[in-house]
């Protein structure tokens, strides 16, 4: 007879209940009378309430994104102006035409087009650090456990999924804390659907270009869509793949930390440690990717952009994306986005010569004026960016954590199929509703 059969419940749950029973007996001998109601109790009554917990969670999430975009906007504009001026200065002092274009467009324009998104990414991490240090994120994990259970996930999956909003790499690595191998693999498979900070620059660029006053709502919708689809795919995998139906469910036991007032030093430290990953990637992988994009878009030297090597590549890919409303430029941007999602933005920056234009708003206007996207196809492009192949580094981490080429290929292939289907649905349904 197993321990579970003797106890009538999961051993971990029984041990936790017994531990807190003993703690309660000790406290009853030390303290007399009723324990006074504290501020922590009042907060938990709201945050952990079965009816209020989820609305509060969504409200705080929405407030986080409004804070991220509204506060970071002036700093992003400043970075944009600085790199534009640098590009103009380099172009004026370099006599050689090729080197002048390389420095002003590829280096200043391409890299500057990515670095303008440093402020929103750092402020996003700043907000997450505030929620974490205050003790709220543990409460959020407790609240969403009841939501995750029917989808084959558990409360422990919440932290890896939450980390995925910053970067899918630590999100995948954090699944090591999940004791059940089945739950761990399932969490890894759906983690790339969680929209990481690398996708945020793409959302901001496209939404700001074609969605106007609805830009913030569109970006928020991408985050909600990522959560919904991650849960939906977990449910589908659980129902259709025999591997995920085997074994018992692991219980979710979590000690809630005390509420605390976050310190500025701790919050800034967490922001820096997570944000520096973006800077390192921007200085290596993204920068090299942008250089490749510029070389392909500028050669044969002197030829128009639509006759360049990159346009040839784009036209090979364009038939696949034409049903979604993407032209060759969108196809090329997605192609190079496999290296790192930030390169999608850098690719458009190279296409439109951001280095020689004063502000990113002009690049966004070029997207509209040249007919690259309409509001509907732009929204579909954002959804495709959310769902298709994770970046190269994430694919490598998935293989390392699963030690299986099968699960790695499965994650890549189903993501591509899902991205295409969702983008196609957006275009078709939006067209039927007259939104095209």
Q: Could you tell me the pTM of the whole model?
A: 0.66
Choice between 424 and 254, residue whose per-residue pLDDT is larger: 424
Place of tokens 């969490």: 187
Whether 41 is in a domain gets the answer no
Same domain flag for 29 and 102: no
10 Å Cβ neighbour count for 349?
A: 30
Kindly state the DSSP code that residue 192 receives in the 8-state scheme.
Answer: G
Q: Say yes or no: 84 and 12 in one domain.
A: no
> How many helices (H) and strands (E) would you count in the chain?
22, 0
Question: Looking at the 3D structure of the chain, how many domains does it have?
Answer: 2
* 301 and 229 assigned to the same domain: yes
Q: Flag whether 42 is in a domain.
A: no
> Domain for residue 206, yes or no?
yes
Q: Tell me phi and psi for residue 97, to 5 degrees.
A: -65, -40
Same domain, 31 and 106: no
For residue 232, being part of any structural domain is answered with yes
Which residues constitute the domain of residue 207?
Answer: 53-432
User: What average pLDDT score do residues 127-143 get?
Assistant: 79
Tell me if residue 153 falls in helix, strand or coil: coil
Residue with the bigger pLDDT between 409 and 123: it is 409
Q: Are residues 148 and 17 in the same domain?
A: no
Q: Are 57 and 89 in contact (CB under 8 A)?
A: no
Give me the sign of the Cα torsion angle 299, 416, 435, 223: negative
Write out pLDDT tens, residues 288-310.
Answer: 766 777 777 677 776 665 677 77
- Give the length of the chain: 436
* 89 and 57 part of one domain: yes
Residues 376-418: tens digit of each pLDDT: 888 999 999 999 887 777 787 788 788 889 998 999 999 999 9
Q: Are residues 32 and 135 in the same domain?
A: no
47 located within any domain? no
| Whether residues 204 and 259 fall in one domain | yes
Rounded to the nearest 10 degrees, what angle do helices 287-298 and 328-337 cross at? 150
pLDDT score recorded for residue 356: 35
Q: Is residue 45 part of a domain?
A: no
Residue percentage of the chain with pLDDT more than 90: 10
Same domain, 12 and 129: no
The per-residue pLDDT for 357 is: 39
Same domain, 20 and 148: no
Residue 436: the pLDDT is: 62
Q: What is the mean pLDDT of the chain?
A: 77
Give the pLDDT of residue 16: 59
Whether residues 28 and 80 share a domain: the answer is no
**Is 44 part of a structural domain of the chain?**
no
267 with 216, same domain: the answer is yes
In a domain, residue 106? The reply is yes
């Amino acid at each position: 007879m197993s321990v579970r059969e003797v106890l009538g419940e999961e051993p971990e749950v029984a041990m936790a209940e017994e531990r807190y029973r003993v703690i309660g007996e000790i406290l009853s001998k030390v303290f007399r009378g009723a324990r006074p109601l504290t501020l922590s109790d009042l907060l938990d009554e709201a945050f952990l309430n079965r009816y209020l917990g989820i609305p509060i969670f969504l409200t705080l999430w929405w407030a986080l994104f409004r804070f991220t975009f509204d506060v970071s906007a002036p700093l992003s504009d400043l970075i944009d102006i600085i790199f534009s001026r640098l590009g103009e200065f380099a172009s004026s002092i370099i006599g050689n035409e090729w080197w002048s274009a390389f420095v002003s467009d590829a280096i200043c324009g391409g890299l500057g087009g990515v670095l303008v998104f440093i402020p929103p990414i750092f402020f996003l991490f700043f907000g997450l650090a505030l929620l974490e240090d205050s003790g709220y994120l543990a409460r959020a994990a407790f609240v969403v456990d009841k939501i995750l259970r029917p989808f084959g996930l558990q409360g422990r999956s919440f932290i890896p999924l939450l980390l995925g909003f910053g970067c899918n790499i630590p999100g995948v690595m954090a699944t090591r804390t999940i004791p059940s191998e089945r739950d761990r693999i399932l969490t890894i498979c759906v983690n790339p659907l969680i929209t990481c900070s690398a996708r945020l620059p793409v959302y901001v660029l496209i939404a700001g270009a074609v969605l106007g006053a609805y830009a913030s709502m569109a970006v928020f919708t991408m985050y909600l869509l990522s959560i919904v689809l991650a849960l939906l795919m977990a449910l589908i995998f659980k129902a259709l793949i025999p591997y995920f139906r085997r074994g018992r469910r692991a219980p979710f036991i979590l000690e809630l930390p005390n509420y605390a007032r976050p310190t500025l030093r701790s919050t800034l430290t967490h922001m820096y440690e997570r944000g520096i990953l973006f800077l390192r990637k921007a200085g290596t992988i993204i920068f090299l990717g942008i250089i490749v994009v510029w070389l392909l878009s500028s050669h044969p030297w002197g030829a128009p952009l639509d006759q360049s090597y990159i346009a040839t590549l784009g036209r090979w890919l364009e038939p696949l994306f034409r049903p979604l409303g993407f032209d060759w430029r969108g196809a090329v941007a997605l192609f190079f986005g496999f290296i790192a999602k930030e390169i999608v933005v850098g690719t458009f920056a190279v296409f439109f010569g951001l280095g020689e234009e004063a502000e990113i708003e002009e690049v966004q206007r070029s997207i509209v004026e040249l007919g690259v996207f309409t509001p509907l196809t732009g929204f579909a492009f954002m959804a495709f960016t959310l769902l298709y192949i994770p970046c190269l580094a994430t694919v490598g981490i998935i293989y390392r954590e699963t030690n299986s080429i099968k699960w790695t290929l499965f994650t890549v292939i189903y993501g591509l199929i899902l991205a295409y289907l969702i983008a196609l649905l957006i275009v078709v349904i939006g067209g039927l509703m007259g939104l095209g």
